């Protein structure tokens, strides 16, 4: 017989440690994870940028089904404009710094939010472990 530890839900934060806002968002997530029973996956995008599949999912999550909106929301204002996932991937391959950060993703619920300001995370962390009705 094997023993398996229970798995908590997880939120991933795509993070820039040089950004005060991003550092605040990580701190908020770590504090909230204790009360709301979820794990935090911190991804330093300078070391490990998101994969093409992750970008595709994030665009979908940010746009709530609108690819155009998701393409606009994932890219920083100074980035070239994109209207398709392929264009976003090409832009981020050339310059990963164009991705807006901190960006937090709940992969299980299909939700993402750009946490500027970090208080935008409050609603997301409240329902991390709750099941959809």
pLDDT tens digits, 29-74: 999 998 888 999 999 998 999 999 999 999 999 998 899 999 999 9
In a domain, 94, yes or no: yes
Q: In the chain, pLDDT over 70 holds for what percent of residues?
A: 91
Q: What is the pTM of this model?
A: 0.88
122 pLDDT more than 60? yes
Q: What does the pLDDT read at residue 129?
A: 64
CATH number for the domain spanning 59: value is: 3.40.30.10
In a domain, 85, yes or no: yes
In a domain, 2, yes or no: no
Helix 52-63 with 67-74: angle, nearest 10 deg: 110
In a domain, 101, yes or no: yes
Range of the domain at 109: 10-126
Cis peptide before 111 (omega within 30 of 0): no
Look-up of token digits 């665009």: 59
In a domain, 84, yes or no: yes
The pLDDT-based confidence of 1 (bands split at 50, 70, 90) is very low
Domain count for the chain: 1
In a domain, 96, yes or no: yes
In a domain, 31, yes or no: yes
In a domain, 131, yes or no: no
88 pLDDT more than 80? yes
Distance CA 57, CA 103 (A): 13
């Amino acid at each position: 017989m094997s023993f398996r530890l229970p798995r908590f839900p997880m939120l991933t934060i795509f993070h820039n440690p040089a950004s005060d806002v991003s550092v605040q968002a990580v701190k908020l997530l770590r504090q909230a994870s204790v009360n709301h029973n979820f794990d935090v996956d911190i991804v330093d995008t300078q070391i490990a940028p998101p994969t093409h599949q992750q970008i595709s999912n994030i665009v979908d999550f940010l746009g709530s089904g609108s690819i155009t909106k998701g393409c606009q929301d994932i890219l920083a204002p100074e980035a070239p404009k994109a209207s398709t996932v392929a264009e976003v991937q090409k832009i981020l391959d050339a310059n990963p710094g164009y991705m807006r950060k901190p960006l937090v993703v709940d992969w299980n619920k299909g939700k993402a939010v750009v946490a500027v300001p970090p208080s935008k995370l409050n609603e997301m962390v409240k329902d991390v472990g709750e099941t959809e009705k």
